[in-house]
Structures are given as structure tokens and as C-alpha cells.
Structure 1
Amino acid sequence: MSLPPGVRRTTVETSRGPFAALEALPGSGVPDRCPALLVPGLTGSKEDFLAVLETLAASGRRVVAIDMRGQYETLGPDDESAYTRAALGADIAALLSALGPGPVHLVGHSFGGLVCREAVLAGARPASFTVMSSGPGAVTGAAAAKARALRDAIPELGLAQIWELGLEPDYLGRGVQREIVAFLRARTLGNSEKGLACMANEILTAPDRVDELAKHCADTALRVLVIYGEDDDAWDPRAQAAMAERLNAPKVVIPGAAHSPAWDAPETTAAALLALWSDTERTLK
């Protein structure tokens, strides 16, 4: 997949190993504002944020989107313990440290939101925390059925057969461009099978930790934003709105977007993130 101008592929070295990343810098090449770390969801990757990277970086900051451990271009071990929410959260904490030493804005999309929440509750101190298209706990309904089917099919079929029998025919039948289909194939097959199955189980079993996060934010003055598409089909938008109320956090509902607002409505999504980041940075000075 081709990259926008000003975006490059790189690797972020951390105390917990290397992570594949996309990095965007401001036009001057010299960031003068807090950097940002963007974390994708269960079957996603750093490329899910491609449409917003340039805009976010143009505000004067280094913006980094990563593949989590075992996702696409970040290697992961064949060890279930590496893919718990807590272990993945420790990876995020290490990434925040690597992008520092100053405060870093944190954005977690979908399952990535649950993982980032683990990092924050374990003591990571981002500049701000945006929960994007992510709920209070485990997915339910149709989203849960999909995650369960994926978890159960991987050991039986493997990702290659899942792609050939189900995913590729669906994408082609919907008229997805062949360049995009080629990328989706590479991404699907690049995942660690053990990792993806374990992460699917984690999204099915995540507890509701919203009250813990609310107390943490009150105690530490951490700014939180809840953002989601009006047509989100993973977590019910009403559940996400209720979560924002429990967190005493602002919410932004993106018109015309579903579960991936950074892709469906990049300019609106970027504007919401930049508003939070700029407002937060005024209080950091």
C-alpha cells in the first residue's frame, strides 16, 4: 500500500522489543509539540490510521502508529502469555517511554482501546488518552460472534484457509480494489496465528474497568476523550455514550462513520483529536 507524503515506515525500539510503525513528522521535520501514539484494533494494523497521519503531524508533532505484538509486521512469540491485555498494555507503556521523554498523547482504537486502558491503569502516564470506537468491556452481539468464530477457526483452519475460503471472496464480491485486497491478504497472513486467536479471546473476556479508569483520571487529572462513529457496529454507540458519562469525559460522535472513524471520516476525526491535544497541552505548560 502506497504511503502519503511525509509518512514513512520505521521501527520503534523499546525495552520490550521492536515494533513496526508508520511515522509522520511536520513539514519542517522538527516537532515542537507533544508526540502521539496510535494503537490499532484486533484485526487491524498501523495502516488503519493512514488517512489522519499527515493532518495530525502538520500540527507540529511526531505521530506514530504501530502494529501491536504479533500484528502484521511486528513479530510475536508463539506464547499465549504475550497476548493478554496486561502484557500488551506493558508493550504500550514501553512505547510511550520510547517516544518520550516528555508526555505522549495516546489513542487506542477498538481492542487497542482496551489494551491502552490496561497500560494507563498499570501506571503509564500519557499526556491524554483517547478511547476510539471501544467499549467498557467485552464485545457483545454480532461483534462477539465474529470474534468467537475467528478464535475458534484459527486453530482448525489457519489464517491461509480463512483468507481463501472466507475473507478474499467477501472483499472481491464487494468490489474492493485489488491493491487493497493484496494489502489485506498480506496483513491477514502476517499476523501471528497464536497471537490473533489469543487477542480474540481477550476481546471476548475483557471486564468492565470504566469505574477504575474514572477514579484514576480524577486522581491524576488525565484528560480522556471518547470518540466513535454514529454507525459503530462493534460496541453499541449508546454503550460508548454511557461510558463517556461514567468517565466524566467529553464524547465526539463522528457523522457518517462506522467502526473506523479515522478511515471513514479522517478530517473530522483528526480535528477532534487535535482539539483535545491542543487544549491538554495548554494545561501542561
Structure 2
Amino acid sequence: MNTVHVGKIEIGGKNPIALIAGPCVIEDRERTLKIGRGIKAIADRLGIPYIFKASYDKANRSSYQSFRGPGLKDGLETLDFIKKELGVPVLSDIHDITQVEPAAAVLDVLQIPAFLCRQTDLVYSAGRTGRVVNVKKGQFLAPLDMKNVIAKIREAGNEKILLTERGFSFGYNNLVVDMRSLPIMRSLGYPVVFDATHSVQLPGGAGTTSSGQREFVSYLTRAAVGIGIDALFMEVHDNPAEALSDGPNMLYLDQLEDLLQDVLALDAVVRRHK
């Protein structure tokens, strides 16, 4: 298995599990930094390698009226500020090829959203930057289909690839996680990430917004870690009820540490078998 370096963090192989976490979207600089600082304090206490995430633009919204974030320029400035303030790598989504170059100047990890994972120009352009590329498996793809996405990034001369599971469409407004997808994707030779909070999303389930089932986050997290993953992706907020995007499926910041303690215990067992 290829190991992927994100700054000083090594992901994959027998390395300890890494954490990718932060709010769904940049709401304002102060609150975004506060959440990131809170997560980093927990990660530092537990000794978990930490990558901050937040979106500068939520382009895939149920409604035109939904909050999307500060946009590319202001959002990247905020992410660069947080990167320097916290001293951690940062990750965010890119949505079209015009965003790739400016995003790569700031981000340590370029993330391809699930619905865009088959967009050849976007995936290839991200690969050409030489940055780590995290591709979320589309809700419509079988896990083995990710080999074709990998091939596009490798064609661009990039081996720094992460693959993320975030659930598969299962009827209307529902997602289900086939846990077999985690070892299947890992067999493709690259580190696998489990997105614990988007996996409990109910897309469009609230009419003009998505809903979610936060109560299942801990169960799916422990199941995925028990199977064997290389990083855990979670959206976290100090008060999800006030969040401007994906509140129903985000984890409360004050619940994070207890869950991560379980994660570490399970990961220690599983790493012996990786």
C-alpha cells in the first residue's frame, strides 16, 4: 500500500489513524478558527494526527437560497490563516478547473466532491498540481469503480491519493454504507478514509435542505475503524443547531473526545492486521 504524506503526517500502511475534521463550511473566520482550535486541542491530547477541513463554497446545495460560504478568494484566505494559526495541514473541496491553481497554492489536500468524482478534467487537473488528492466515492459508484479515478490521477503523474467512502444512495433521501467497500477500496493500493458524518446524511430529506441522523455517527465510526481505515473524516461544530450547512449530521464538538478514545482503542487492535 502507498503511504501518503500530508505535511508531516503519514497516512496509510501501519500508521496510526489520522483525523480530518472541521465544520462543514466556513461561516466566519472567528468561529471557524474556534472550532478548529477545539478539535486540535483534543487531537493533541490524544496524539492523533490532525488535518483541518472546511469548505469555502458549498456548490452542491438543495436550494439556491442555501448558504454556500465566503467563496474562493475569501475562503482560501481564511484557510491560509487557520493553517498558520493552528500549524496543521488544511483540506477543502474544489469544484471546477478554474479553482485548482489558486486552491493548490493554499491547500495541502484538494478534495474532489462525490458528485464530481467522474469529472475527468477536474480530477486530472487536481492530480497535475502534485498536491494530495482526496476523492470521495460517488453515491452512485461501486468501490471497484474507483480504480478508474485512480488511473486518471496517476496519468497526471501523481501517486498521492486518498479514497473516501461516504455512503451509497439507497432509495429516496437515504444513504447506506456497505462496509465491504472499505477493504475493497483499500485493496486498490491507496489509503482509505471514512466520512462518518456525511454517511448519515439524508440528502434533500428536509425539502429544501438535507437532513441527517447524527445519532448513528458513533456506531458507523466504530464499525469502520474496526474494519480498518487509514483516516477518519468528520464534520464537527460547537453547536450544530446553529450551523449554516449540514447541521443535522454534524457531530457536537463536546462529544468528539469520547468517540476518538474508542477510535484509538479499535485502531490499535486493527493495525496489527493491516
TM-score, length basis structure 2: 0.35
Please report the TM-score for the alignment, with normalisation by the length of structure 1: 0.34
| Structure 1 or 2: more helix by fraction | 1
Larger radius of gyration: 1
